[in-house]
Amino acid sequence: MIRPAAAVFLVVLAACRGPVDVRGLYIADDHRSSFVPCDHPDTVFTVNDSALAATYGRVAGASHDWLFVRLRAVQSDSGSIYSGAHYLRVQHVLEIRARAAGECPTIGNPMPLSSAAPLHA
């Protein structure tokens, strides 16, 4: 028989996700940052990483275009199975640059972040 403390530990351990390498498009402004993975173009992750946002500002300049990024990050979700938000906790920025032709072909031309509907907080 499993002790209650051991059972809780196993549930918490199973719920934890390890870091994964992801690639997609990233954009940031003064209020929020978003990431759309190339292989899941219908999913938008909220990213709260000041170092990535600062690097984005240096690379994108005044254009505020979506940039191609490769990140090592931990994905998490909040809310219910019907509605919720997706978050990405960045552990390491592997690459950040302008999007090349043919990259992330399943993602069209995303709208600027300032034009997008507010993300769930």
- The dihedrals phi and psi of 104, each to the nearest 5 degrees, come to 50, 60
Say if 75 falls within a structural domain: yes
> Which domain does 90 fall in, by range?
18-110
Q: Cβ distance 20 to 86 under 8 Å? A: no
Residue 5 included in any domain: no
Q: Answer whether residue 115 is part of any domain.
A: no
**How many distinct structural domains can be found in the chain?**
1
Express each pLDDT in 29-64 by its tens digit. 878 899 999 999 999 999 999 999 999 999 998 878
Query: What's the CATH code of the domain at 68?
Result: 2.40.50.540
The pTM is what? 0.74
Tokens matching residue 101: 């032709």
pLDDT at 2 over 60: no
Tell me: the pLDDT tens digits for 51-100? 999 999 999 988 788 999 999 999 998 877 777 889 999 999 999 999 99
Q: Supply the DSSP string of 15-66, one letter for each residue.
A: H----EEEEEEEEE-SS-EEEEETT-TT--EEE--HHHHHHHHHHHGGG---
Asked if residue 83 is part of any domain, the answer here is: yes
pLDDT at 80: 75
The region of weakest confidence among 22-26, 47-51, 72-76, 110-114 is: 110-114
Asked if 53 and 90 count as a contact pair (C-beta separation under 8 A), the reply is: no
64 part of a folded domain? yes
